[in-house]
Structure 1
Amino acid sequence: MSEEEAQASLNLFIDSLNHFGGCVQHILVRNWGMTNNWKIVDESSELEPFCKSPKDKIEEEIAIDKGKGIQLVDSHGLPIKKAIQIDFPALSSQEGKRLAREEVKFAQAILRPSQDGVTKEGKKAWPLWERQRIINFLKKASAVLDNTGLF
């Protein structure tokens, strides 16, 4: 994603917060599988009043412009809820590409082989190290989602 595309996406997110922020809980997802450059988000002074730290609890907070000390409201006059931030982990590119190429679901990719190296579905099993990387990714992703308190 180019810097211009990232800025446009961030602007849309802020516009949505300003319009629907009191009605809809917004979630900012840093997908580390898409990019590892989140500088534009981290350094955005426009976004800062709207976001909780990823370490904050799920308790609902209202966005406040600290510079002016005022509560921010959306276009409907409702107090804007602070956006929840999620740092979504990256799956290794090798496994990601193979999943896409073979059109395989995670559950199929991590199936253990029988004695002859074939899964119960009759397909060649993935090597142990690739299955383990997928399992580790799924554990990290699950922990991140669990920590949001949304599920």
Structure 2
Amino acid sequence: MSDTTENQQAEKRKRGRPKKNTNLPTALTNNSQDISITMQEKPSASTTSPKTEDSNTDNSTKLPSDNLSVEDWVRELSDDSNLPHTELTKPNSDKEQLETTSQNNSSTTAPISTNINNIVSNQEKLVKIPTTIHIVDGEKGGAGKSFVSRALIEYCASIKHKVAIVDADKSNEDISQIYKNVHSAFFSDDDKKANQADHIFDLAFEKSVIVNLPAQVYSKVTNWIKTNDLDEIGKEYQITFVKWFVCTGGVDSVNFFIKSLNDLGDRVTHVFVKNCGFCDEWDHVDEMPEFLEAKKNHKFVEMKFPKFPFWERNTIDRLGITFESALSHPELQVISKQRVKNFIKEAHAAFARTRLVK
């Protein structure tokens, strides 16, 4: 057949039924009803058009059951022999489309949830700054833990160091009555209630925490730290522990401090707080063989907490006010206000010398 004849037949076939193509793979022939063609114009170098669900629906057409030339079929539909290219795609089933949509939606960043069950995963997303959990302990009741806690809270405020306040002393909630936004915590040996203390650690992901402990919870607090390896977790999230152990000067109080050193020595930084409101002279403690031995075996900080005048202390406690607000309270006269001012100055200087509050 001459070239002229072949060209004429090709021209006729352009408007008629497409020519069968026997060169298509067998797999395409057997599964032709499961295959669709998506016609997509080639994007220009400067602009691209986003693919939408409607465009996919309009441009996807079922092939007939018999074996046809893909190129001819596209041209037959569009009557355009200059299409840039064609793309073969396999349509997804309804189930696959649903899964794909779900995966696409899940990639959107969701806001951080406040659900306590998701607290760890959400905390990992935070840009973490180093924080400290300050535990004010003393084991014995009436050692001055709450008073030291209040002085530490106000020292942090004076240097613009933001802290979360936790009052774990349910029997004497004076911290909660004086300061705003005070959190509660509860230490228990009951496994069902053990997680109630975890709130303290959760708070430390945002800011440092000051915890006022009640009496006789030493074993519970120690177990909470050791059992959960909180010191190791803290290293990962830049959270450290400092225990301010308030000592009255009595032998039993010193022995409790030494026990804490032996149990938590390298896990928690210890501060031996010499409460001068109970004891003016500490030579007998400094010379105790057990205390000297503890100094050799452990590193800890010593701090003298200043004595607060009796009358001014009782007045401030009765009024339920802060040390700072006492400086302008009408019930305190000029000399009393000066005593309060001196105490604040000495207490703040003592905390600053430890270099543990930044």
TM-score of Structure 1 vs Structure 2, range by shorter chain: 0.5 to 0.7
Aligned equivalent of 1:34, options 278, 282, 286? 278
* Runs (5+) with no aligned partner, structure 2: 1-141, 143-248
Aligned equivalent of 1:143, options 349, 354, 357? 349
Whose helix proportion is higher, 1 or 2? 2
Aligned equivalent of 1:133, options 330, 339, 346? 339
Contact 1:7/1:40 (8 A) holds in 2: no
If the length of structure 1 is used for normalisation, what is the TM-score?
0.64
**Alignment partner, residue 68 of structure 1:** none
Q: Secondary structure at the match of 1:47?
A: helix
Higher alpha-carbon deviation: 138-147 or 7-16: 7-16
The structural deviation recorded for 1:35 is: 2.5
The residue correspondences of 1:52-67 to structure 2 (distance < 5 A) are: 64=296
For these two proteins, the number of residue pairs brought into alignment is: 110
The residue correspondences of 1:37-116 to structure 2 (distance < 5 A) are: 37-51=281-295, 64=296, 72=297, 80=298, 82-111=299-328
How large is the RMSD of aligned CA atoms in angstroms? 2.1
Whose strand proportion is higher, 1 or 2? 2
Kindly tell me: are residues 8 and 125 of structure 1, through their superposed partners in 2, closer, same or farther at Cα, counting changes over 3 Å?
closer
Counterpart Cα distance in 1 of 2:332 and 2:252: 40
Write the deviation string for residues 52-89 of structure 1: whole angstroms up to 9, x where unpaired: xxxxxxxxxxxx3xxxxxxx4xxxxxxx4x11000111
Q: Percent identity?
A: 31
Q: Secondary structure at the match of 1:26?
A: strand
Q: Secondary structure at the match of 2:290?
A: coil
Write the deviation string for residues 75-106 of structure 1: whole angstroms up to 9, x where unpaired: xxxxx4x1100011111112112112222221
The structural deviation recorded for 1:37 is: 4.2
* Runs (5+) with no aligned partner, structure 1: 52-63, 65-71, 73-79, 112-118
Kindly tell me: are residues 17 and 9 of structure 1, through their superposed partners in 2, closer, same or farther at Cα, counting changes over 3 Å?
same
Counterpart Cα distance in 2 of 1:126 and 1:14: 40
**Alignment partner, residue 268 of structure 2:** 24
The structural deviation recorded for 1:43 is: 2.0
Q: Secondary structure at the match of 1:48?
A: helix
Write the deviation string for residues 82-140 of structure 1: whole angstroms up to 9, x where unpaired: 110001111111211211222222122101xxxxxxx6xxxx35211111110111011
The structural deviation recorded for 1:31 is: 0.9
If the length of structure 2 is used for normalisation, what is the TM-score?
0.29
